[in-house]
């Protein structure tokens, strides 16, 4: 036995004597104190809805939450929230230097922060999070938003993929609990590591006003649907079918390049596409639009805060999610944007992928593309919005907020819109957050 180890253990037992934990709080010496959860993620926090909702749910149920992320070049200001936040300023912004710097800075920050439980989001934040938790002797929970080894960014990069696989293989069996975004990812990870995961879908709140940061000045008006674009954008969209492609990850294999090209086959007097978000291809898409002289058909906006994004989405007539079936992560994934659309009452046109097909087919809230040829995408959009004719009159204008009907099935679009309400009632954060709370209670019980 190492010298001094027994007294240290006895001292630790003495400190824990009389301590019990109930619902995010610990009874210490007769006083009930909130447990502190430190949440880590490599994003800049502003548009990361999942970590916001998880942090908020924990905070509302008795935990004291600190969310730590990165502050990147061009990051938007972070509005006050109902829990504590910190962002680590970054010097490097290119891939491996960025990941290495973030984890190094995060590790030393975590060493000097009190935490009862650590929650790491995605594999790129886990090296520092797991190591700090191990040195502190604290439990760590892992929320993986991706099937990491199936990410398209790793295709054709075997050396980098081996590094991530080594990190994942080391960490996965050594965390106290793991959850992810959908059942398909649970099955993939069980195949890889023989471990049961819980699925927590990244769905919006049922209560619309709970979506964003109520503390932000003007947030109430925006959340109430009073958002207006700049006058020149309003003019471009006036009287047209408003198509929306939104999301923070405008990255390779998401189908956005083909969508831009598809707009060449759509009448600019009837259709306008808004692309909103950011990612690896964002500047390339801007250049495509400029070079193709498509500004009369396509508007591109950078990332916006939660409440503004929700208000913009409510104005759309059709939401698009066009991930390509070129990698496992896309085939079995469940993009956040699909629920943002549906909770805003917006029908969808999506790729025929496993989890997307389940949602769209079960709830009857949209339709599919069968390939990624630009002409095919354009044809599917036209079919959805084709005005009924030969029946005594013209269909209503697009400015009517989604009142257009399809020629082959006159009530189809309106039926899809009505069915989005069932999605809201059955798939919402008020329900999904209960799973997160169950996971935390289980970990507390195991460690008490």
Q: What is the pLDDT of residue 343?
A: 96
Tell me the three state secondary structure of residue 193.
helix
The predicted pLDDT at position 24 comes to 63
Do residues 90 and 76 make contact, with C-beta atoms less than 8 angstroms apart?
no
Kindly report the number of other CB atoms within 10 A of residue 392's CB atom.
Answer: 6
89, with CB counted inside 10 A (0-12, 13-18, 19+), is exposed
The first and second tokens of residue 26, run together, are 């610990």
Tokens of 395: 């269909």
Residue 269: count other Cβ atoms within 10 Å of its Cβ.
10
Q: Scanning the structure block, which residue is given the tokens 């109930």?
A: 22
CATH H superfamily, domain 22-203+430-443: Glycogen Phosphorylase B; (3.40.50.2000)
**Rounded to the nearest 5 degrees, what angle is found at the Cα of 321, between the Cα atoms of 318 and 322?**
125
Q: Is 31 helix (H, G, I), strand (E, B) or coil?
A: strand
- Of 197, 209, 273, 277, the closest CA to residue 241 belongs to 273
Q: Hey, which residues does 226 pair with through a beta bridge?
A: none
Nearest-angstrom CA–CA distance, 44 and 74: 10
pLDDT under 50: residue ranges of the chain: 1-20, 22, 27-29, 209, 211-226, 388-407
Start and end residues for every CATH 3.40.50.2000 domain found in the chain: 22-203+430-443, 227-426
Contact criterion met (CB below 8 Å) for 277 and 248: yes
Candidates 3.40.50.2000, 3.10.20.740, 3.40.190.10, 3.40.50.300; correct CATH number of 227-426? 3.40.50.2000
In whole angstroms, give the CA distance from residue 339 to residue 333: 13
């Amino acid at each position: 036995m190492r010298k001094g180890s027994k007294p240290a253990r006895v001292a630790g037992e003495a400190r824990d004597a009389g301590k019990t934990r109930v619902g995010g709080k610990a009874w210490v010496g007769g006083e009930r104190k909130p447990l502190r959860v430190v949440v880590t993620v490599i994003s800049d926090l502003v548009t990361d809805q999942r970590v916001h909702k998880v942090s908020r749910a924990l905070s509302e149920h008795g935990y004291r939450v600190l969310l730590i992320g990165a502050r990147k070049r061009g990051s938007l200001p972070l509005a006050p929230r109902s829990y504590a936040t910190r962002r680590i300023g970054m010097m490097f912004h290119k891939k491996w230097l960025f990941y290495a710097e973030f984890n190094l800075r995060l590790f030393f920050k975590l060493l000097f922060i009190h935490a009862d439980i650590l929650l790491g989001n995605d594999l790129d934040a886990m090296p520092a999070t797991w190591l700090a938790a191990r040195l502190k002797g604290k439990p760590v929970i892992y929320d993986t938003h991706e099937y990491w080894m199936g990410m398209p960014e790793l295709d054709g990069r075997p050396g980098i993929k081996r590094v991530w696989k080594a990190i994942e293989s080391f960490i996965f069996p050594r965390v106290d609990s793991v959850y992810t975004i959908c059942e398909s990812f649970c099955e993939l990870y069980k195949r890889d590591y023989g471990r049961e995961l819980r699925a927590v879908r990244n769905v919006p709140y049922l209560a619309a006003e709970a979506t964003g940061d109520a503390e932000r000045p003007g947030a109430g008006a925006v959340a109430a649907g009073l958002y207006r674009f700049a006058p020149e954008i309003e003019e471009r969209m006036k009287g047209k079918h408003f198509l929306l492609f939104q999301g923070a990850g405008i990255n390779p294999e998401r189908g956005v390049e083909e969508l831009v090209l598809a707009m060449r086959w759509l009448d600019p007097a009837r259709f306008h596409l808004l692309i909103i978000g950011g990612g690896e291809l964002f500047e390339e898409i801007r250049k495509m639009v400029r070079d193709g002289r498509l500004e009369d058909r396509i508007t591109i906006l950078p990332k916006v805060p939660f409440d503004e994004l929700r208000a913009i989405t409510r104005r759309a007539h059709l939401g698009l999610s066009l991930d390509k079936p070129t990698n496992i992560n896309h085939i079995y994934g469940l993009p956040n944007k699909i629920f943002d659309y549906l909770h805003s009452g917006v029908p969808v046109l999506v790729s025929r992928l496993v989890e997307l097909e389940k949602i769209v087919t079960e709830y009857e809230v949209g339709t599919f593309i069968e390939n990624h040829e630009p002409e095919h995408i354009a044809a599917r959009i036209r079919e959805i919005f084709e005005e009924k004719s030969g029946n005594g009159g013209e269909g209503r204008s697009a400015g009517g907020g989604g009142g257009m009907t399809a020629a082959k099935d006159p009530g189809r679009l309106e039926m899809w819109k009505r069915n989005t309400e069932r999605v809201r009632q059955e798939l919402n954060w008020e329900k999904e957050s209960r799973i997160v709370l169950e996971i935390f209670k289980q970990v507390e019980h195991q460690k008490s």
